[in-house]
């Protein structure tokens, strides 16, 4: 394809995307396809004769789009908001168009330095001190794995340079709660700590926040038993009910015992753009690493996960590789992001943050987050005030966990009832929500915060929910 052909096809694609986004509301929220339906609609072998960009666009519309669950749809309340703002999409397109290679500062100085700048902008915008320096990772899962590798090497006094974990005399222990994201467990296992050395600390039964007192006792027990506490992962906005572990109290324990504290704020980090929400991670300055995803609620198109550390020297010491072909004369003066994580090559991801903050601006982003907090409170109030409905966890942010509990319906029957009405809504394509298990019983997580979701959509959702849940019963 020549640049001239690209120009023509590119304009058509952009027009198509703009129409697609404008008309999103007319599509079903959840993909209405059966397993293998998309796969079977495609040729089983790669095309041998070239196809036009126009034909590709037809196929995109006809064959691909039906297989998309529309997370940009205003009636999407599943999992978490995964906003892909159009401003950041432009930055992503620019990044692709430039075709850069990030493997060293020299391979694209702008890639490195824009990343430094936007990470520092976001540091300031979330109220973090100058002690933090950041980079962009693909996901919070990668950030958590990186953090636990840093913890492992600190706790083991650089076992990687000796016999590795296999020669370390004391088993190293990781602490988190059952509310933590599955990526925390996965990271602990991949980093070699082993399931036996993973402690799920007791939580407050209502808020689901880690009980610092229990952490303190468990750490003391482990030390007495000759084990080495290595890391605590605190959830700031947990996956299930968006619970907030008490970071300040946890940090105090971690600091006292030299335990690495990683703060997983993947979802709720966006809220820290609002000064009035920052009490939710009070004490965060004493952590060792923080990650959060602008690609969730804030709306900088996936993938864009921020990872901040205080001790950059330690980070680089653990992650550094320095093959001869990547060395240059300015190495002492510049940042090498390949030493900040696992991959060598990186995309110019900083451009999407740069575009997002440049075009939409922080004021409009903050206004939208505040709108969503308002909508969440309003929705929770409606549910609380309605007969036979319950809000099951504190609504500190934008996740509202609810259940319809008609009189006399309990246990398995209640589970069946919950799943029946939720599935009916999800199947209808009118709205989408994630059912989830809390204390052994199914409930419904309503995650509010899609860019296009207004109060009118929340009102429609509440109407829909009541119709589907109460219809057959009353």
Please state the closest distance from residue 177 (CB atom) to ligand PLP, in A.
Answer: 11
> By CB under 6 A, how many residues form the interface with ligand PLP?
15
Site for ligand PLP in 157-196 (CB under 6 A): 181, 183
CB of 141 to ligand PLP, least distance (A): 3
Of positions 28, 75, 80, 173, contacts ligand PLP by CB under 6 A:
80
**How many angstroms separate the most distant Cα atoms in the chain?**
77
Nearer to ligand PLP, 151 or 414 (CB): 151
Check the CA dihedral 180-79-393-473 and report its sign.
negative
Say if residue 38 is exposed, middle or buried (CB neighbours under 10 Å; 0-12, 13-18, 19+). middle
Task: Count Cβ atoms below 10 Å from residue 19 Cβ, excluding itself.
Answer: 11
Residue 288 or residue 405: which is nearer to ligand PLP going by CB? 288
Q: How far is the CB of 296 from ligand PLP (least distance, A)?
A: 6
Check binding of 301 to ligand PLP (CB under 6 A): no
Which residues are CB-contacts of 466 (< 8 A; sequence separation ≥ 6)?
386
Q: Which of 141, 156, 197, 336 binds ligand PLP (CB under 6 A)?
A: 141
Q: How far is the CB of 142 from ligand PLP (least distance, A)?
A: 7
Token pair, residue 94, equals 């620019």
Strand order in the sheet with 228-235: 133-137, 305-309, 289-292, 260-264, 228-235, 172-176, 198-200
Complex with ligand PLP: residue 139 or 453, whichever CB lies closer: 139
Nearest-angstrom CA–CA distance, 335 and 423: 50
CA-CA distance, 153 to 149, in Å (whole number)? 6
Tokens of 70: 């529309």
Answer for which of 70, 72, 85, 235 binds ligand PLP (CB under 6 A) is 235
255-274: contacts with ligand PLP (CB under 6 A): 264, 266-267
Beta carbon nearer to ligand PLP, 159 or 238: 238
CA distance 52 to 171: 59
Closer residue to ligand PLP (CB): 210 or 464: 210
Determine how many CB atoms are found less than 10 A away from the CB of residue 413: 11
Interface ranges with ligand PLP (CB under 6 A): 80, 139-141, 181, 183, 235, 237-239, 264, 266-267, 293, 305
């Amino acid at each position: 394809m020549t640049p001239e052909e690209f120009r023509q096809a590119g304009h058509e694609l952009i027009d198509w995307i703009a129409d697609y986004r404008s008309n999103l509301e007319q599509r079903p929220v959840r993909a209405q396809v059966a397993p293998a339906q998309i796969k079977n609609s495609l040729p089983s072998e790669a095309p041998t004769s070239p196809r036009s960009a126009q034909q590709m666009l037809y196929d995109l519309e006809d064959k691909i789009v039906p297989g998309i669950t529309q997370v940009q749809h205003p009636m999407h309340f599943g999992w978490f908001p995964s906003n892909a703002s159009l401003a950041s999409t432009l930055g992503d397109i620019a990044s692709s168009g430039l075709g850069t290679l990030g493997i060293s500062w020299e391979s694209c100085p702008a890639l490195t330095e824009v990343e430094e700048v936007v990470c520092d902008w976001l540091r300031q915008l979330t109220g973090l001190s100058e002690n933090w320096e950041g980079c962009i990772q693909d996901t919070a899962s990668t950030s958590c794995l990186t953090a636990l590798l840093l913890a492992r090497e600190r706790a083991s006094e650089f076992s990687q340079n000796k016999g590795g974990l296999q020669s370390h005399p004391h088993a190293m222990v990781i602490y988190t709660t059952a509310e933590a994201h599955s990526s925390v467990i996965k990271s602990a296992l991949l980093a070699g700590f082993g399931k036996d050395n993973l402690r799920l600390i007791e939580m407050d039964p209502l808020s689901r926040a880690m009980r610092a007192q229990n952490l303190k006792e468990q750490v003391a027990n482990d030390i007495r038993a000759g084990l080495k506490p290595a890391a605590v992962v605190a959830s700031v906005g947990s996956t299930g009910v968006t619970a907030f572990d008490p970071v300040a109290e946890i940090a105090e324990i971690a600091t006292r015992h030299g335990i690495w504290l990683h703060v997983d704020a993947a979802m709720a980090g966006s809220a820290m753009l609002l000064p009035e929400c920052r009490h939710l991670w009070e004490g965060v300055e004493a952590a060792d690493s923080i990650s959060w995803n602008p690609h969730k609620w804030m709306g900088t198109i996936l993938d864009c996960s921020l990872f901040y550390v205080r001790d950059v020297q330690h980070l680089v010491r653990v992650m550094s590789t320095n093959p001869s072909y990547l060395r240059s004369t300015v190495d002492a003066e510049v940042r090498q992001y390949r030493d900040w994580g696992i991959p060598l090559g990186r995309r110019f991801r900083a451009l999407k943050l740069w575009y997002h903050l440049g075009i939409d601006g922080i004021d409009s982003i903050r206004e939208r987050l505040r709108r969503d907090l308002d909508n969440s409170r309003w929705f929770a109030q409606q549910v609380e005030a309605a007969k036979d409905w319950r809000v099951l966890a504190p609504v500190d942010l934008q996740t509202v966990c609810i259940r319809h509990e008609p009189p006399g319906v309990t246990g398995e029957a209640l589970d069946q009832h919950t799943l029946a009405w939720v599935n009916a809504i999800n199947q209808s394509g009118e709205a989408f929500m994630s059912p989830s298990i809390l204390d052994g019983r199914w409930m419904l997580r309503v995650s509010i915060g899609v860019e296009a979701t207004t109060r009118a959509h929340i009102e429609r959702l509440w109407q829909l929910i009541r119709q589907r849940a109460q219809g057959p019963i009353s």
